[in-house]
Amino acid sequence: MKVLVTGGAGYIGSTICSALLDQGHTPIVLDSLIRGRQEFVQDRIFYQGDISDQSLIKQIFTDHPEIYATIHCAALILVPESTENPLGYYRANVQKSLDLFDALMQNGCKRVIFSSTASLYDVVEGFSVDESAPLKPSSPYSRTKLCMELALEDFTRAYDFRAITLRYFNPIGADPELRTGQQLERVSHALDKIIEAHTLGQTFNITGTEWPTRDGSGIRDYIHVWDLAKAHIKAVLEFDRVFSEFTTEKYRVFNLGTGNGTTVFELVQAFENVIGRPILKQLAPPRPGDVAGAYANPTRANTELGWYPESSLETAIELGLKWFAKRKEFLGLDF
């Protein structure tokens, strides 16, 4: 089976491509390489270009008319950057995605799997959210994702087109074979910052310790990126069955998380257990825009996609450490 993967030279997109290859499928990668890496598409079918380039999309489908579905991962994803440059984010994530969906429909691609985010959710009592939980996107980045979710839902109602949206919680770790991993020059997620601080002998700041969680630190749902990648393959393989057995609509949303909330203190403790010693750490006030957090209720993905995460938090941490030890040589990046 051939699957078009936009953003397939980025962290998550490249991991999805590796998982597709491992299961005997053929990813067709489209990436501008603005944030993606050339190293991640070696020996893969690769088209360098913009997702809004309709002539390029047409060429891809001319070359590969048997493409079964499109997984749309291409996006700008840095929250602070989105606050500084919301216009750029709306152009990249909304305007260009609209052009992409138009081109897909023109070229007969009627199955789309959209990469979205759990940062759409509002904070709720108990912190566990299912797909019907209230939404409250808190940054221009997350609002661009909500815009595209709404657009996709409208498109499925008007056109011969179906879409699955996957709301990611907090991806960590790397491809188990270390073919790909986090590629951004400045790491920003909690585990990556812990690895950076540990590797450089610096102090990790635990920001915010008075949230209404069990230990006062923020709570998240950390999911191994390899489990996340395999969920996309499940979404492709079960796509038609989802719409024939579970809904009369042509649009479906799934949470992708472990179903377990992990606080920052607990993440630090798990990291220390993996390396076998304490790290330098200190308490700090919350950053602007920080929230207590949330974790997934993934029952719908379990039931309809037959997907369950398999990796432990410790396994994801171990692979994250191995990847960051490799990436300086592989990508020429320190952190």
Residues with a catalytic annotation lie at: 141
Distance, CA of 184 to CA of 316 (rounded, Å): 18
Closest by CA position to 40, among listed 184, 187, 179, 225: 179
Q: Is 188 helix (H, G, I), strand (E, B) or coil?
A: coil
- Pairing verdict, β 262-263 and 219-220: antiparallel
Which helix H or strand E contains 28, and what residues bound it? strand 26-31
Lookup: tokens for 268:
């630090």
The label of the residue with tokens 């590629």 reads 183
- Residues facing residue 26 across a β-bridge: 2
DSSP 285-321: PPPTT---B-EE--HHIIIII-------HHHHHHHHH
**Alpha-carbon gap, residue 152 to 161, rounded angstroms:** 9
Q: What are phi and psi of 77, to 5 degrees?
A: -135, 5
